[in-house]
Amino acid sequence: NLKHPEQHGIVVGTFPYDKQLGWTIREFGPLPIPKKGQIVMMNRTNCLLYRQLIGWEQKKKLRVKDGQIVLGDSVITQYRFKKNYYFVSGDNMANSQDSRYWGMLPEEYIVGKASRIWYSEDKFTEKPRWDRIMQKIK
């Protein structure tokens, strides 16, 4: 458990990289994960949280302009998601390049399911942990 991750070279700024929200890897969220058909009201915070996803779904830029939320050339007050999304978490809480850094993952980008441990290394000795390699993930 790292009390000050920045002292260890760990990036502490996180998705959606907004100073007003002030999220870090230790103080992250809340981040509601949208599902297909879900409607969200559009405000500054939701624009920040969902601009990647909505831009990807609509092939248009989502932004705040003069205090309003604009999708392409149209002002919007709410948005209904067309896809399911997931928060992807790494196994190293202090320093995993996961959804805390790059946002949510569209369901269609998930192409498989992990079933076995491919490789495992002791973090202190940097030697393989042979008893874990190729074991089933429970």
**pLDDT, position 81:** 96
pLDDT value at 4 more than 80:
no
65-91 mean pLDDT: 91
pLDDT value at 97 more than 80:
no
Question: In Å, how far are 60, 63, 85, 106, 113 from 56, measured between CA atoms?
Answer: 7, 13, 12, 9, 24
Domain boundaries, the chain: 5-109
Q: How confident is the model at residue 76 (pLDDT cuts 50, 70, 90)?
A: very high
**pLDDT, position 39:** 96
pLDDT in tens, 18-28: 788 877 777 77
